[in-house]
Amino acid sequence: MTEGKGTRRKYHHGNLREALVEATLGLIEEKGPLGFTLAEAARVAGVSAAAPYRHFRGRDELIEEVALRGFTMFADRLEAVFNDGKPSTLSAFMATGRAYLAFARENPGYYIAMFESGVSIAGNSELARATERAMGVLRKAAEQLADALPPEKRPPPGMVANHIWALSHGVVELFSRGAPGARAPYSADEMLESGAAIYLRGLGLIR
């Protein structure tokens, strides 16, 4: 089997689960999360069509595994960036936004599985926990930014976290995979940072 797009690692005894995840990442990047079958993932991994059923009940469960790994990596990255000794909460907050965009650029297969495959986060407790870890970084940043305001003027940190998450996701969609934003005279990072600054200033969280 020739190595190429959609073919990352041949199956070796005892490593079936990993081989299927690697094959699925390539297929997601090439065909989208709904553009391939479990049998095709097995073929790319170099195993029989029946082999994946040792670990997964179907393609959707395999994609859930990819999404779980992606959210875990994503949460690890956001936590590391936010806790990396930045001189202020604002700089740490902006660094998490840049990390969000970098993750999407560097890991398109994971990102698509996480956000574009239709996996049910609410229906998978591990996925829900990993997502909450990532959201928790943004919520913590929002809480710290609001500390200087009187309690009655502090916006709900969960709302702020969700708005910044939505803004980040929108920038990814606008600038990724040949989308119109790729032709803009400014970068995705600049778009996110300027949008976040306008939003936070409007809430009185920064001056």
125 versus 7: the higher-pLDDT residue is: 125
Same domain (yes/no): 48, 17 = yes
183 domain-assigned: yes
2 domain-assigned: yes
- Find the mean pLDDT for residues 20-28: 95
Residue 180 is predicted with a pLDDT of 75
> Could you read off the pLDDT of 43-102 as tens digits, one per residue?
999 999 999 898 888 899 999 999 999 999 999 999 999 988 787 889 999 999 999 999
Residue keyed to tokens 């994946």 = 52
CATH number at residue 1: 1.10.10
Residue 14 is predicted with a pLDDT of 60
- Split at pLDDT 50, 70, 90, the class of 6 is very low
Same domain (yes/no): 39, 9 = yes
- What are the tokens at 100? 């969000």
207 domain-assigned: no
Same domain (yes/no): 162, 180 = yes
Residue 50 is predicted with a pLDDT of 92
Same domain (yes/no): 38, 70 = no
Domain count, the chain: 2
The parent domain of residue 113 ranges over 59-202
> Cα(99)–Cα(82) distance, rounded to whole angstroms?
9
> Cα(143)–Cα(161) distance, rounded to whole angstroms?
10
Whether 32 has a pLDDT exceeding 60, the answer reads: yes
> Could you read off the pLDDT of 94-111 as tens digits, one per residue?
999 999 999 999 999 999
Whether 39 has a pLDDT exceeding 90, the answer reads: yes
Whether 10 has a pLDDT exceeding 70, the answer reads: no
The answer to whether 84 touches 133, Cβ cutoff 8 Å, is no
> Could you read off the pLDDT of 127-166 as tens digits, one per residue?
999 999 999 999 999 999 999 899 999 999 999 999 999 9
- Find the mean pLDDT for residues 107-133: 92
- Split at pLDDT 50, 70, 90, the class of 8 is very low
11 versus 207: the higher-pLDDT residue is: 207
CATH number at residue 175: 1.10.357.10
Residue keyed to tokens 């976040």 = 196
Whether 7 has a pLDDT exceeding 50, the answer reads: no
CA 99, 105, 107, 108 torsion: positive or negative? positive
Same domain (yes/no): 2, 76 = no
Residue 87 is predicted with a pLDDT of 79
> Could you read off the pLDDT of 170-203 as tens digits, one per residue?
999 988 877 777 778 889 999 999 999 999 999 9
Same domain (yes/no): 175, 121 = yes
Same domain (yes/no): 71, 154 = yes
